[in-house]
Structure 1
Amino acid sequence: MEVVYPRCSGLDVHKRFVVACLSIVENGQRHKELRQVGTMTSDILALKGWLQASGCHQIAMESTGVFWKPLYHLLEDSFEIVLVNAQHMKAVPGRKTDVKDAEWIADLLQHGLLKASFLPSSEQQAVRDLTRTRMRLLQERTRLINRIQKVLEDANLKLASVVSDVMGVTGQAILQALVAGQENPECLAHLARGSLVKKEDQLQAALQGKLAPHHRMQLEELLQLIATLDHSIARFDREVAERLHQFDALIERMDAVTGLSRRSIEVLLGELGWDMSHFPDAAHAASWVGIVRCITHLSIPGAARRNSKGGSWVNCLP
């Protein structure tokens, strides 16, 4: 079999250590050298120096978990790195169970049998990290709001039966009053704002309950946690908006699509990126973000318009 890279290395990456196999082919003879190093920065830099001194220019590693990322970032400036889907590697026939992973990766790379996975640009990765973290914060905020509703139900305060959003203006005013010690249903109902002013009688009936001290303490702590999350989410919003400022025109066009909000568009840009030419068609783009049976109707340069399975992309947003 033809040797594509005479000097290359395969890395088997783990949380606490990396096994490196340096494979060198000279005069028809193959020489392999194995080393195990830690994953501290100093260890990776020592590995980098060894590979450079050996004349290695190509490296392959599996895209397992998040452990490959710091290794990739420390080595990408000096080597051509092939990041490989582990499933694709296993699909290549002929692998022996007693062959070490690092040696197997090096063998496949040396003969040009590895296909590199799509790796987003560092700018897109940053946006994706920010939008994913913001999503987790939003999910946590929802969980805390649900906990507030459970506390209210436990105290037989049926606020959610009258107010659709307990964290709206009226809901927050009533919750803050409850925390401050106000228990008079009539006084609480007078805090209604907007369209809820017409429902003061319903609010007064709903707020006749028994709020125990431990209920009040829970509400106070939950509201403080939500306020902290709101501050963090707003900071993420600003950071993401700043990083995507150059695509404001694109975001504005996409925002015209029914069902899309700015946040969901930012998530799409973080996951798909702004260069859709990486994806051959809509099916590949949908697979990348975990969407199935979708079509694209968005005016994105280079984006495929439709896939054969049908369905609506907008309605399939995660």
Structure 2
Amino acid sequence: MEEVDEVELHVERIAALDLGKSMLEACVRIPHPSRAGRRLQEVRSYESTTVQLRSMIEWLREHGVARVVMEATSSYWKGVYYLLEAEEFEVWLVNPRDVKNLPGRAKTDKLDCVWLGKVAERGMCRPSLVHPPEIRQLRDLTRYRRALVQDQARERQRVEKLLEDAQIKISSVLSDIFGVSGRAMMEALIGGERDAHAMADLAERRARHKLAELERALEGFFTPHHARLLRMMLDNIDRMQAQIAALDVSIEEAVAPFVHQVAQLCEVAGIDTTTAAELIGEIGIDMSRFPTSAHLVSWAKFCPKTHESAGKKKAKGRGQGNPWLGGILGRIVFGFSRTQTFLGTRHRRLARRMAPQKAVVASGNAVLTVIWHLLSDPEAHFRDLGPGYYDSRINKDRKLRNLARHLQALTGQTILVRDGKVTVEPEAA
């Protein structure tokens, strides 16, 4: 028999919550005072307001509840979880998929919280990762910043479409219509200027080499209607840019306690200070939650699922995972994909033999492994192995023999490799 590291879990005094937007059901299960092995339970309903939640907390304390378990229901769990956390309860947030009620049974809110209590008291579920408050605050800032960046990009696309509607083609001439030259021309259009030559003369620096092209591109039918919409769009872009700048200051303050971890992560190709702050906001810095790097990769859903039945392994994809973390890793991979680094070379080797999206996932797997090792050891530093790492590990004689064997299979001739030289034996007469 093989000894396993699992322990029999049993929580004697436990509470389970079934959450809704305005109401919740709470079930408390405790040992029977006189009958050994028997349980007592009580279910109560509470409003999800703070006043009612404090009444529920007093009820839980009266029964000496050691652990409170709840499902991750939309965003309704957050206020309840944070309040119980502040009151120093041991709170578990579990995946609803892991505690789904058995089919064939009636499903009500009260029965659901009773079932959750039964499952949790026997240790048949595990808690989800919930970061400490300082990491959660950093994550709120970084996520909102990225949302604003995406909104700003959408607004810029609207500006370009509006200019195309007015037959203003400066986006075909200028690489960035929101630079100094492009903004000056758009402001002139809004101000009522319609002389293409005068507007083209507003170009700055390298754009002045394209004056003739700009003059032709600015010949259109820009109307007061277009000017009104363009003014709103540009103001909206400027407003979001100011908010992004303010968020950058707040993120810098929030990430200050983790400046050492940021410096470690910035050693990896494709990661800058903003990306490092986003990674810490999504992953945290406590890698003890992930026993190995493979656990972190699996949690992020950047590895294939294991699905074996009847001795056969079936492809099951990799799951959804955290879309925010997935987006960050995708940007990191794109950042180093063309660099002359080990990670860049590795990604290009993968991209040659698999689908582009699979190559991104495989490279993201490697990035997460590096991140886990860096955050697990405060003294660890990333050392790039260089773009020639794989070439230095190739056995040239073995590769030569493999190529000779392939050539022999294609041509039918006898090809020999001796002392690093390839010879073709002549065919017998």
State the TM-score, normalized to the length of structure 2: 0.66
**Cα deviation, residue 82, structure 1:** 1.4
1:281 alignment partner, one of 265, 271, 293: 293
Structure 1: how far apart are the matches of 2:258 and 2:64? 42
CA distance in 1, matches of 2:260, 2:9: 48
Q: State which of 376, 382, 394 in structure 2 corresponds to 1:302.
A: 376
- Structure 1: how far apart are the matches of 2:229 and 2:128? 48
Name the structure 2 match of 1:144: 155
Q: Which amino acid aligns with 2:293?
A: D
Where does the alignment leave 5 or more consecutive residues of structure 1 unmatched?
306-318
SS at match of 1:37: strand
Shift of 1:275: 2.5
Residue 423 (structure 2) aligns with: none
Give the equivalent residue in structure 2 for 1:4: 10
Secondary structure in structure 2 of the residue aligned to 1:209: coil
Residue in structure 1 matched with residue 51 of structure 2 by the alignment: 42
- What is the match of residue 312 of structure 1? none
Letter in 2 for 1:45: R
Other-structure match for 2:80 = 71
| Equivalent residue number for residue 109 of structure 1 | 120
Post-superposition CA distance 1:38-63 (Å, at most 9, x none): 11111111111111122222110012
3-state SS of the aligned residue for 1:301?
helix
Deviation at 1:7, TM superposition (A): 1.9
Aligned to 1:310: none
Q: Which residue number in structure 2 is paired with residue 53 of structure 1?
A: 62
Distance of aligned partners of 1:253 and 1:50 in 2 relative to their CA distance in 1, 3 Å threshold: closer
CA 1:211–1:271 in 2, change beyond 3 Å: closer, same or farther?
same
Query: Counterpart in 1 of 2:24?
Result: 18
Q: Is the 8 A contact 1:95 1:104 kept in 2?
A: no
- Whichever residue aligns with residue 286 of structure 1, its letter is A
CA displacement 1:52-107 (0-9 Å, x = unmatched):
122222110012221111001111124211111112223x9x67632611001111
Larger Rg: 2
Q: Compute the displacement of 1:135 (Å).
A: 1.1
Q: 1:158 aligns with which of 169, 172, 179?
A: 169
SS of the residue corresponding to residue 151 of structure 1 reads helix
Structure 2: gaps of 5 or more residues? 1-7, 302-320, 327-360, 382-429
Q: Larger deviation: 171-180 or 269-278? A: 269-278
Per-residue CA deviation, residues 268-305 of structure 1 (Å, 9 max, x unaligned), is: 11111123332222423532545443212456232899
Alignment partners' CA distance in 2, 1:300 and 1:289: 21
- The aligned length equals 302
Q: 1:97 aligns with which of 105, 113, 133?
A: 105
- Partners of 1:231 and 1:248 in 2: CA distance: 25
CA contact (8 A) 1:57 1:78 kept: no
C-alpha displacement of 1:249: 4.3
Give the fraction of aligned pairs with identical amino acids, expressed as a percent: 31
Cα distance, 1:150–1:24 mapped onto 2, change above 3 Å? same
Following superposition, the deviation at residue 180 of structure 1 comes to 1.3
SS of residue paired to 1:9: strand
- Shift, 1:162, TM fit: 0.8
- Provide the secondary structure at the position in 1 that maps to 2:118: helix
Indicate yes or no: 2:129 matched with 1:118. Answer: yes
Could you tell me how far apart the structure 1 residues matched to 2:14 and 2:104 are?
A: 20
Indicate if the aligned counterparts of 1:276 and 1:300 stay in contact, CA closer than 8 A: no
**What CA distance in whole angstroms lies between the structure 1 residues aligned with 2:232 and 2:183?**
14
For 1:187 and 1:252, how far apart are their aligned partners in 2? 49
Q: Is the 8 A contact 2:23 2:48 kept in 1?
A: yes
For 1:270 and 1:68, the matched residues in 2 are separated by 19
Deviations along 1:125-145, one digit per CA (max 9) or x if unpaired, are 111111111111111111111
Deviation at 1:3, TM superposition (A): 7.9
CA–CA separation in structure 2 for the residues paired with 1:159 and 1:265: 36
2:139 aligned with 1:128, yes or no? yes
Q: For residue 412 of structure 2, what is the aligned residue in structure 1?
A: none
SS of alignment partner, residue 124 of structure 2: coil
**Is 2:208 aligned against 1:197?**
yes
2:106 corresponds to which letter in structure 1?
A: D
- Structure 1 residues 173 and 3: CA distance shift in structure 2, 3 A: closer
Q: Within 2, Cα distance between the matches of 1:125 and 1:66?
A: 14
Determine the structure 2 residue equivalent to 1:229.
Answer: 240
Tell me which amino acid in the other structure corresponds to 2:42. E
The one-letter code matched in structure 2 to 1:165 is D
Post-superposition shift, 1:221? 0.6
Comparing both chains, which one has the higher relative contact order based on Cα–Cα distances under 8 Å and sequence gaps of 6 or more? 1
8 Å CA contact retained: 1:23, 1:30: yes
- Pick closer, same or farther for the CA change 1:58–1:185 going to 2, 3 Å: same
Q: Is the 8 A contact 1:272 1:285 kept in 2?
A: no
Structure 1 Cα separation of the partners of residues 163 and 255 of structure 2: 40
Deviations 1:145-174 (A, max 9, x none): 111001100000001101111211111111
Q: Which residue of 1 is the match for residue 344 of structure 2?
A: none
RMSD: 2.3
Give SS of 1:163's match.
coil
CA distance in 1, matches of 2:9, 2:174: 70
